[in-house]
Amino acid sequence: MQRLHLVYGGELTDPTKTEFRDVDDIHVVGIFPDYASAFDAWKEWAQKTVDNAHMRYFIAHLHRLQDEGAPGSASKDPT
C-alpha cells in the first residue's frame, strides 16, 4: 500500500488554532510518496514563512483515507 502524504498550508485566523483565514488561499505544496519527502517539503515551506506567526503548514496522511472502512481511519464516519 502506498503511503501518500499531502503538504498544505496557509494563514490562520489565530496562531493558536487551525482555522484558515481564507480557504481559497490555501497553498497546496503537493502530494508525496512517503513521510520523509513530505516532511522535507513541509520543513522547507515552514522555514520560508517563519516570519509570519499566522502561517502554518501541515502534513495530511492521505493513505489513512484510502481505506475508509479500516479501524482507526481518519475519515471513518463515527455515526
Residue 21 in grid coordinates: 483565514
Q: What are phi and psi of 45, to 5 degrees?
A: -75, -30
Query: What's residue 79's pLDDT?
Result: 41
Residue 55: CB partners within 8 Å, gap ≥ 6? 9, 10, 11, 12, 49
Question: pTM of whole model > 0.85?
Answer: no
Give domain limits for the chain. Answer: 5-66
Q: Identity (one letter) of the amino acid at 26?
A: I
Q: Read off the pLDDT of residues 23-78 as tens digits, 9 standing for 90 and up.
A: 999 999 999 999 999 999 999 999 999 999 999 999 999 988 876 666 655 545 44
Architecture of domain 5-66: 2-Layer Sandwich (3.30)
Q: Is 42 exposed, middle or buried (0-12, 13-18, 19+ CB in 10 A)?
A: buried
